[in-house]
Amino acid sequence: MSSTPDLGPLPRRVTVDADQVRQLVGDQFPRWADLPVRPVPAGGWDNFTFRLGDDMVARLPSAAEYALAVDKEQRWLPALAPRLPLPVPVPLARGRPGAGYPFPWSVYRWLPGEPASPERISDPVRFALDLAGFLAALQRVDAADGPRPGKHNWFRGASPRTYDAQVRRALTALDGRVDVDLAREIWQTALDAPRNGVDVWFHGDVAPGNLLLGGGALAAVIDFGTCGVGDPSCDVAIAWTLLTADGRRAFRERLAVDEATWARGRGWALWKALVTCARTADEEAASARRVLGEIFAEGSTDDHSG
């Protein structure tokens, strides 16, 4: 059994505003200096996102830990994009620290669409099949020399055991508020599920906000900051966080997910939902409770038939 990596304290986030971005762009990319800069509402936690004109977007990491992904995305997204069936961000330029902003940053082509949500998806099964097809294509890309799990992606692609201590603390905090016995069983099954497959590419954060819709259908996949090469079970968590029961079955069949990988993916979904429920009491926690309901609906791992 490997030891749990030291995740350290929570990242210390910086702030950045549109005026700083204008100065950064003007200083480093004068050909774009006259383009308007405006923040993207709900542009994400790991990065501050700003529209640059109509066709581009500037993404600036919010903390040093998130900035570790800049060079990775610059290196690998141009190699991944031609091999994937849906648009993904491809960097147009790499920015340097400046204007009081301390980290490297990137300019990408703007990808239109709206974040996925259950009410916006027109055909849940078709959406699930399209997403599974995208992930299957990603897993088929040559993984040689790809980035291994580490601090750059918060150990996605490693074992969910990385977050065992967080889950245990959340279960203690939630005792009496959720079915902690069932949660412990599901979590332990995830930890015990054997990992026998080859290492493949994974996205690492297949979440509703990173799946863009056009006309109610999956149109693009964004934010590869947590991508890497390793165990793809972290990408399976979307089966419980967004998909319907019918979509979940179609997703699993299309992606040909074995029992052990499914169990680890269920564990990844459980980790995030438990931690969110334990630390907040707002709309985010309500969404996490819905996810817990989806996870618990499959019942005990003893009677789960897949």
Give the residue-averaged pLDDT of 252-264: 98
Vertex 263 angle, CA 257 and 266, to 5°: 100
Average pLDDT (32-47) is 92
Q: Is the pLDDT of residue 305 over 50?
A: no
Nearest in space to 60 (alpha carbons), one of 112, 111, 101, 110: 101
pLDDT of residue 303: 53
Give domain limits for the chain: 18-109, 115-297
Residues 271-298 have pLDDT tens digits of 999 999 998 777 888 999 999 999 999 8
Q: What is the pLDDT of residue 284?
A: 84
Topology at the third CATH level for domain 115-297: Aminoglycoside 3'-phosphotransferase; Chain: A, domain 2 (3.90.1200)
Average pLDDT over residues 79-89: 98
d(CA 51, CA 154): 27
18-109: in CATH 3.30.200.20: yes
**Residue 131 · residue 218 · CB < 8 Å:** yes
According to DSSP, the residues that pair with 201 across neighbouring strands are 229
What percentage of the chain has pLDDT greater than the value 70? 95
Confidence at residue 7, expressed as pLDDT on a 0 to 100 scale: 55
- Looking at residue 300, its pLDDT comes to 75
pLDDT digits (tens, 9 = 90+) for 120-162: 999 999 999 999 999 999 999 999 999 999 999 999 999 999 9
pLDDT (tens digit per residue) in 174-189:
999 999 999 999 999 9
3-state SS, one letter per residue, for the chain: CCCCCCCCCCCCCCCCCHHHHHHHHHHHCHHHCCCCEEECCCCCCCEEEEEECCCEEEEEECCHHHHHHHHHHHHHHHHHHHHCCCCCCCEEEEECCECCECCCEEEEECCCCEECCCCCCCCHHHHHHHHHHHHHHHHHCCCCCCCCCCHHHCCCCCCHHHHHHHHHHHHHHHECCECHHHHHHHHHHHHHCCCCCCCEEECCCCCHHHEEEECCEEEEECCCCCCEEECCHHHHCHHHHCCCHHHHHHHHHHHCCCHHHHHHHHHHHHHHHHHHHHHCCCHHHHHHHHHHHHHHHCCCCCCCCC
Q: How confident is the model at residue 301 (pLDDT cuts 50, 70, 90)?
A: low
Mean pLDDT of the residues in the chain:
94
Q: Is the pLDDT of residue 6 over 90?
A: no
Q: Is the pLDDT of residue 206 over 90?
A: yes
The residue among 5, 35, 6 whose CA lies nearest residue 21 is 35
End-to-end CA distance of the chain: 27
Q: State yes or no: pLDDT of 170 exceeds 80.
A: yes
Does residue 5 carry a pLDDT above 70? no
